[in-house]
């Protein structure tokens, strides 16, 4: 009996994870079309059950079914582990050298590099940072820092794990989303339908231009 229970758990757990990932993906699609983005964003710190109630009582997504409401609630609360604490100071006038956007407006996505001459570069996402990195292959960058997506704590870019192809978008669209541990990267990949997990030396230029 014990062996049967273990086998059953091992079989059911991946199925539940896949079902949850599919619901989250469905919720992402519905939220883009049917929901008030600002009101929906305010529910990130709630539980899925609380989010469902508020979506209904505050008419955040219009006339959607209970099943659709559940999917949206799972989607919006799935990233609730994120914090708003900045990992390092970002100058207000710092502009991304790739897109020209003010980086301080996007503290959750900031990445940082310093070259051998001591020049500092701030980016509004890992994708733009890597574009700069590939465009300056003859330069040396002794400091390359990204932020863990869940905690916003700094990580050496070459030690991070990156999820690509997920349904969470940064300021410049699809992103390479960094994590300190493979475990967290795998959790995020499952919840947000990511394509795969890669390391720094596996990042290819073609990944930086995917829509």
CA 131 distance to own-chain centroid = 19
CA 6 distance to own-chain centroid = 33
User: How far, in Å, CA of 134 to CA of 112, rounded?
Assistant: 15
Res. 42 pLDDT band, cuts 50 70 90: confident
Over the stretch 56-114, which tens digit does the pLDDT of each residue have? Answer: 999 999 889 999 999 998 888 875 544 434 456 889 999 999 999 999 999 989 999 99
Q: In what order do the strands lie in the sheet with 161-164?
A: 177-179, 161-164, 196-199
Over the stretch 198-207, which tens digit does the pLDDT of each residue have? Answer: 999 999 999 9
DSSP state of 139: S
> Does 21 score more than 80 pLDDT?
no
């Amino acid at each position: 009996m014990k062996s049967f229970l273990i086998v059953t758990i091992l079989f059911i757990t991946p199925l539940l994870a896949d079902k949850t990932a599919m619901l989250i993906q469905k919720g992402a699609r519905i939220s883009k079309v049917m929901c008030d983005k600002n009101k929906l964003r305010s529910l990130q710190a709630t539980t899925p059950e609380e989010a469902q109630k508020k979506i209904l009582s505050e008419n955040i997504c219009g006339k959607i079914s209970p099943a659709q409401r559940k999917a949206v609630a799972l989607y919006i609360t799935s990233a609730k582990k994120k914090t708003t604490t900045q990992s390092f100071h970002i100058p207000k006038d710092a502009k991304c050298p790739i897109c020209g956007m003010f980086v301080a407006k996007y503290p959750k996505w900031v990445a940082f590099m310093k070259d051998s001459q001591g020049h500092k570069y701030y980016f509004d996402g890992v994708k733009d940072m890597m574009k700069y990195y590939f465009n300056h292959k003859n330069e040396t960058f002794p400091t390359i820092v990204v932020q863990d997506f869940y905690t916003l704590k700094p990580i050496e870019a070459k030690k991070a794990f990156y999820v690509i192809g997920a349904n969470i978008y940064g300021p410049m669209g699809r992103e390479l989303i960094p994590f300190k541990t493979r475990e967290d990267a795998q959790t995020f990949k499952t919840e947000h339908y990511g394509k795969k997990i890669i390391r720094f030396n596996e990042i290819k230029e073609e990944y930086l231009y995917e829509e």
